[in-house]
Structure 1
Amino acid sequence: MTRHITNTISQQFGRFASKEFPRWFQKIVNQGYVSIMGLDMSEFYAPSTYRSLNALFTRTLKASRHFSNDADDLISPCDSLITECGDLDATRALQIKGMSYCVRELLGSEIDDANKDRIEHGQFMNFYLSPRDYHRYHVPTNMKVLKAVHIPGKLYPVNMPSLNKRADLFIENERVVLECENQQGRLFYLVLVGALNVGKMQVSFEPRIQTNADAQQPTAYAFDDLYLKKGDDFGCFEMGSTIVMITEKAGMALSVEAGRKVRFGDTIAKLS
């Protein structure tokens, strides 16, 4: 199968971003990116300390952020803009206002139909990470990971103009679907959606997942005893992209709305 042009562009950009240039030149590249994109580096090390642009993209926090330890509080998994959120229309979610898509197709063929039935009339949230955001993602609640599915696809941009003009964008793009269960015993999904210039989506607990590579068919990885704690860092986008969260019906009471900027650690819902 011929690779889509978006995948080729993203691979080439990934090679550039991962290259470690001479220190003097890397400093110019990093500082230029920080200035052009308007990055807030107050929680991170100086731009000049990162040996590549990718190391700057995937930077870690110097100090841990504080968040609620209440088991019923769901926290934001990332720094992002909530582009849409709310109730599913049966099994349809909003990509953006006026543009919906089928959640069953988003989750893919490797997720059991019975579990897809469980999220009918459930709830969803879309988290868009721009190139200026902190790119790592964290566990939003104490959870058990049941399955991870890598679904190869295209790498169209997922910014606001693209969300408004390209139907089924999340379904066309490469993604990693995490099937999870929270402490309340409710099923939910975290879907990491790739985008243009996202060389890779890292999933720290499953290194066999290699995105924007040569895979052409979905691959599923099942887990028997994989528990993650709220706030744990479990990977990153190597550039900005989107996370979609989907829960069972009445699985959470949202305390945010579309258009709000959130940071990893902010309480965004109450679990039920």
Structure 2
Amino acid sequence: MLLEKFKIALQYCTPQHGLSRLVGFLAASKAPWISQTFIRIFANAFNISLDDYQADKFSEFKSFNDFFTRALKQEARPIDSTENAIVSPVDGEVSQAMPITGDSVFQAKGHDYSLTTLLGGDAENAKPYQDGLFSTIYLSPSDYHRLHMPCDGVLKKMIYVPGKLFSVNQATTRNVPGLFARNERLVCFFDTEFGEMAMVLVGAMIVASIETVWAGNITPPRSKRSFTWHYKTDENSPERIVIKKGEEMGRFKLGSTVVCVFENNQVEFVESHVAGTKVRLGELMGTRCQ
């Protein structure tokens, strides 16, 4: 316990953004003596196999970022086709999956945080999700790091929220109040057949980049102020962005967390989707409320 608290204290003292910039520079390097060295060390440390991935050899990756965001084989993650199904958007571990109490989201024992703050600070953006449902999924360093859609969605809006870069592992989640509403994050709002849905891509210590398929690299460079993008949702608009269930919507270059938020009385999680369970992309996560 003392060691855990010491590690948390170090995070408060560490120049989080400076360290992340340095790691980002090294992760993007295509110099073989840098990229291949880091890839081999990382793969050995986390026992990573390429069995599920398109690349056959680690030497095929030009940079550590290429390795970290490696693409899956098409058949590696079948997408659940159950009627009215919502699927896991990632490989990872469920940190929490439960109802939202008003504007309060449960983080860990003794720690709640504000839904409004998580979604960018505007109460109107948070209003549809009050008393709704959320799932927080942690992506460990060894996991697949592309994010996919849990259901069909039409993109409405995206908000970049600057913030800290605390680690998002279990120890930090237990000890840093309001962690997910304090860290840098990207909030994507969708219209779906299950009502409105928000996907929050939470940055963390040494996360080199957050990207989406429609806008490319969002961060870095990092900003000290929030940015909002609005998107066309008219069915006749050629600029309308529609992403189908199971299709890629974004990626992390180095690991982090995604929080999926749903409206009240629209979705119910399956019994297996609970805190502490491992999930894989495409597995059944929830269904429409009966």
Structure 1 length as normaliser, TM-score?
Answer: 0.92
3-state SS of the aligned residue for 2:218? coil
Q: After TM superposition, list the pairs within 5 Å mapping 1:93-112 onto structure 2.
A: 93-109=105-121, 111=122
3-state SS of the aligned residue for 2:199? strand
Q: Quick one: which of 153, 162, 173 aligns to 1:152?
A: 162
Residues 93 and 101 in structure 1, CA contact (< 8 A), matched pair in contact too? yes
Which amino acid in the other structure matches residue 136 of structure 2?
Answer: N
Deviation at 1:21, TM superposition (A): 2.2
Asked if residue 234 in structure 1 is aligned to residue 225 in structure 2, the reply is no
Which amino acid in the other structure matches residue 117 of structure 1?
Answer: K
Deviation at 1:47, TM superposition (A): 1.6
Deviation at 1:212, TM superposition (A): 3.5
* Other-structure match for 2:103: 91
**Counterparts of 1:115 and 1:197 in 2: how far apart (Å)?**
29
**Counterparts of 2:49 and 2:139 in 1: how far apart (Å)?**
14
Which amino acid in the other structure matches residue 276 of structure 2?
Answer: G
3-state SS of the aligned residue for 1:210? strand
* Other-structure match for 2:90: 78
**Counterparts of 2:269 and 2:35 in 1: how far apart (Å)?**
42
* Other-structure match for 1:58: 69
Which amino acid in the other structure matches residue 72 of structure 2?
Answer: L
In structure 2, runs of 5+ residues without a counterpart are: 1-13, 233-239
Q: Deviations over 1:178-220 (max 9, x none)?
A: 1111124x1111000000110110112123x621424221111
**Counterparts of 1:137 and 1:164 in 2: how far apart (Å)?**
25
Q: Deviations over 1:32-82 (max 9, x none)?
A: 211101223211122221111111111111224311234510011000100
Residues 155 and 195 in structure 1, CA contact (< 8 A), matched pair in contact too? yes
Q: After TM superposition, list the pairs within 5 Å mapping 1:40-55 onto structure 2.
A: 40-44=49-53, 45=55, 46-55=57-66
Once the two structures are overlaid, the 10-residue window that deviates more, 246-255 or 125-134, is: 246-255
* Other-structure match for 2:149: 139
Q: Quick one: which of 184, 189, 201 aligns to 2:198?
A: 189
Residues 152 and 211 in structure 1, CA contact (< 8 A), matched pair in contact too? no
Deviation at 1:115, TM superposition (A): 4.0
Q: After TM superposition, list the pairs within 5 Å mapping 1:205-220 onto structure 2.
A: 205-207=214-216, 210-220=218-228
Which amino acid in the other structure matches residue 249 of structure 2?
Answer: F
Tell me the number of residue pairs that the alignment of Structure 1 and Structure 2 aligns: 264
Deviation at 1:13, TM superposition (A): 0.3
**Counterparts of 2:124 and 2:69 in 1: how far apart (Å)?**
36
User: Structure 1 segments of 4 or more deviating over 6 A?
Assistant: none
Residues 78 and 264 in structure 1, CA contact (< 8 A), matched pair in contact too? yes
Asked if residue 199 in structure 1 is aligned to residue 208 in structure 2, the reply is yes
**Counterparts of 1:241 and 1:62 in 2: how far apart (Å)?**
22
* Other-structure match for 1:68: 80
Q: Deviations over 1:113-164 (max 9, x none)?
A: 3442221111110010011110100011001111000111111111111101
Given the superposition, is the C-alpha separation of residues 258 and 214 from structure 1 closer, same or farther in structure 2, using an over 3 Å criterion? closer
Asked if residue 165 in structure 1 is aligned to residue 175 in structure 2, the reply is yes
Residues 119 and 248 in structure 1, CA contact (< 8 A), matched pair in contact too? yes
Q: Deviations over 1:80-114 (max 9, x none)?
A: 100111011111111223321111111113x4x34
**Counterparts of 2:268 and 2:68 in 1: how far apart (Å)?**
32
Query: Identical aligned pairs, as a percentage?
Result: 28
**Counterparts of 1:71 and 1:20 in 2: how far apart (Å)?**
44
Which amino acid in the other structure matches residue 264 of structure 1?
Answer: L
Deviation at 1:252, TM superposition (A): 1.1
Residues 152 and 212 in structure 1, CA contact (< 8 A), matched pair in contact too? no
Residues 85 and 94 in structure 1, CA contact (< 8 A), matched pair in contact too? no
Which amino acid in the other structure matches residue 262 of structure 2?
Answer: T
Q: Quick one: which of 122, 129, 143 aligns to 1:119?
A: 129
Residues 187 and 248 in structure 1, CA contact (< 8 A), matched pair in contact too? yes
Which amino acid in the other structure matches residue 145 of structure 2?
Answer: H
In structure 1, runs of 5+ residues without a counterpart are: none
Residues 7 and 212 in structure 1, CA contact (< 8 A), matched pair in contact too? no
* Aligned alpha-carbon RMSD (Å): 1.7
Asked if residue 38 in structure 1 is aligned to residue 53 in structure 2, the reply is no
Asked if residue 257 in structure 1 is aligned to residue 274 in structure 2, the reply is yes
